[in-house]
Structure 1
């Protein structure tokens, strides 16, 4: 059924239309995740997702750690130590489902006290679902950070400070093709992973921020908003050259272990393919030319 109707119209956003399938997807996230696992994914596909995203995250953490340790902003040692510790504790979660519990049992327990009556109309059901979700979140207050997932409305991002969550929509084609050449996994999904890791890094100390985290990682001085500070509001595309440079190093470093062979389906080199695919799929692609390697790969002159 077209991948569960494109997994019920992907994820919730602020301007999402009030459609029944979207509301169900939003308010009953864990139930729909379980249906997607059991009716669309195979155990083999789920295993490939987990294996590949874990390797992707681990690879991108390496150049981030290297730049943190270089400490180009001259931050105090305790802040560098805190950042290193946080990065060393990064974990991944596929599908926003428990890593250590039976998923069907988790979902059954989560909705166990959902009190629906046969004559409830859609509005009443919707209200009861939000009440249940709110109740589940309130139950966590005052307790240690739980292992169980919390509702997650984004495609990819960090929760509980150091867990990178990959929703099932972000792992579907074209974002991740498990059997495709590795260059495609880094040039698109890799950039989203790097952005999430930068936000984790920004949370490593109370006075850190996204801008300072980007500057810490900008060893090539290519940040689009060089004069920005923690009071400056910037969007992800301003930091995109730094993000892509990190991903490029993670993939093309000699010890990465990823497939860097020349694809048979194109005359472009692997490095050219990396940048072309990134430019086609990621916002902020017009800043790619700031990366020195880009100019070298495409033989651009200094005046281009």
Structure 2
């Protein structure tokens, strides 16, 4: 079989299946060094493999004496310092942080309960930043402009006005976040998700770049002229009980309504939803979650 065809076929396989394919014959085994392994894997597991350089996404358990595969695209690391740095001098702190989070990390989980986040702690190599569940520090000036994916943990509930870099395109808040968001959401965000406790006004707060907008359990604010006509996927939580007639833009194609207070049979559910919410004709996928189950409708 042609080498180029086999390598092209391998792109649709997961790492395990690629290895199994390479074991099917001696010729296939020789092709193994032409495969690219794109699933996340611990660096320690692959360190001594002959095709080590072909792994694209690796996870570190330590940042000491790291050698990366030649074709590495992303480096995942969870930073959880063994002791607090809050009482260390600025110069010493900077050196320690740089040794713990070297500028090779692209995907960082910052899971620190005993160390405050300071400007410069996150290297410019980081594009995906996730904060641990106990993180609840001020972030103003502390998230670098390299970050495009930003996810907060469960307990984060700090003001964010003018705090998040305009580079962020995917923004996810944890369950406890319930702060005003005026002048807070970056202008190029396309995916925006709020957690369970968020219940703040959103008038003039959602940028016209957003395509996926997800509200949590407690959100129950007016959406009159609030949802931009770029949004295609929209989710409302259990507490949402606002009129939405003529308030959903025709851009919305996928809608999820969580309302466990609607206690009717599945046969009655759709007619009640259509009467109550006056949904736009653009919707092709409607999911209704009530006290019984989740029901999905597809329209053509």
Higher helix share: 1
The TM-score bracket by the shorter chain reads under 0.3
TM-score by length of 2: 0.23
TM-score by length of 1: 0.23
**Bigger radius of gyration:** 2
